[in-house]
Amino acid sequence: MSSLVKSRLIKFLLSLIIVSIAVLIIIFNLRDNIIYFYGPTDLLKNSDKQGQIMRLGGLVSVDSFQNETDSIFYFSITDGENEIDVKYEGILPNLFAEDKGVVVEGVYMNDGRFIANKVLAKHDENYMPPEVIETLKKSGKWQGE
Amino acid sequence: MSLYIFYISNFLLLLCLTASLIQFGKIINNKIFTRPGVIVLAYVQLISILLSFLILIYLFLISDFNFDLVYFNSHSEKPLIYKFSGVWGNHEGSMLLWILILVLFNFLFALSRRISERFKEITVAVQSIMIFGFVAFLFFLSNPFALNQNNFFDGIGLNPILQDPLLAIHPPVLYVGYVGFSLVFSLAIAGLITKEVDQQWASIVKPWVFSAWAFLTAGIALGSFWAYYELGWGGYWFWDPVENASLMPWIAATALIHCVLILQKRNVMQSWTIILAILTFSLSLVGTFLVRSGILNSVHTFASDPGRGLFILLFIFLILVFSFSLFAYNSEKINKINSMGLVSRGTGIQVNNWLLITILTIVFLGTMYPLATDLLLNKSLTVGPKYYSTTIAPIIILFLFFMFISPRLGWTDTKLYKIIIQMRYLIITSLTITLIISLYFELFNLTEILIIFFSLLLVISSVTASINFNKQNILVRTNLGQNLAHAGFGILMMAVVSNAVYSEERIYNAKVGDNLQLQKYIFSFDKIEQVEESNYNSLKAYFLMKKDGKLIDTFTPEIRFYSNPPTITSEASILHKFFSDIYLVMNVPQDQQSISVRMHIKPFMTILWLGTLMIIIGGIISASIRIGRVDEK
pLDDT digit string (tens) for B232-243? 677 899 898 888
For residue B145, what pLDDT is reported?
A: 93
Range of the domain at B582: 505-606
Interface check A32 vs B, CB under 8 A: yes
pLDDT bin (cut points 50, 70, 90) of residue B632 is very low
Using CB atoms and an 8 Å cut-off, which of residues 96-115 of chain A contact chain B? none
Residue at B388 is within a domain: no
Interface check A131 vs B, CB under 8 A: yes
| pLDDT, chain B, mean | 87
pLDDT bin (cut points 50, 70, 90) of residue A99 is confident
Contacts with B365 from chain A: Cβ below 8 Å? 23, 26-27, 30
Residue at B73 is within a domain: yes
CA distance, residue A123 to nearest chain B CA (Å):
6
Structural element, H or E, at residue B546: strand B536-547
CATH code of A36-138, in short, is 2.40.50.140
CB contacts < 8 A (A, B): 88
Kindly state the average pLDDT of the residues B589-611: 84
Domain boundaries in chain A?
1-34, 36-138
Rounded-to-integer distance, Cα B248 and Cα B234, Å:
23
Kindly state the average pLDDT of the residues B250-272: 93
Cα B404 from chain centroid (whole Å): 24
Which carries the bigger pLDDT value, residue B161 or residue A17? A17
Burial class of B260 by CB neighbour count within 10 A (0 to 12, 13 to 18, 19+): buried
Interface check A37 vs B, CB under 8 A: yes
Alpha carbon separation from B393 to B148, B349, B366, B403, B448 (Å, rounded) = 53, 19, 15, 15, 8
Kindly state the average pLDDT of the residues B392-401: 95
pLDDT in tens, B499-513: 998 888 888 888 888
CA distance, residue A46 to nearest chain B CA (Å):
13
Residue at B69 is within a domain: yes
Kindly state the average pLDDT of the residues B278-307: 69
- Cβ distance B356 to B254 under 8 Å? yes
This model of the complex carries an ipTM of 0.79
Q: Do you know the residue count of chain B?
A: 633
Cβ separation B365–A130 shorter than 8 A:
no
pLDDT at residue B524 greater than cutoff 80:
yes
Which carries the bigger pLDDT value, residue B91 or residue A70? B91
Contacts with B301 from chain A: Cβ below 8 Å? none
Instruction: Please count the other Cβ atoms lying within 10 Å of the Cβ belonging to residue B339.
Output: 10
Kindly state the average pLDDT of the residues B77-86: 84
Rounded-to-integer distance, Cα B260 and Cα B274, Å:
9
For residue A111, what pLDDT is reported?
A: 83
Q: Which amino acid is at B403?
A: M
3-state SS assignment for residue B269: coil
Interface check A14 vs B, CB under 8 A: no
Rounded-to-integer distance, Cα B452 and Cα B469, Å:
29
For residue B626, what pLDDT is reported?
A: 59
Which carries the bigger pLDDT value, residue B472 or residue B187? B187
Which carries the bigger pLDDT value, residue A4 or residue B620? B620
For residue B628, what pLDDT is reported?
A: 42
For residue B163, what pLDDT is reported?
A: 77
For residue B82, what pLDDT is reported?
A: 85
For residue B210, what pLDDT is reported?
A: 96
Contacts with A35 from chain B: Cβ below 8 Å? 381-384
Q: Could you give the number of structural domains in chain B?
A: 2
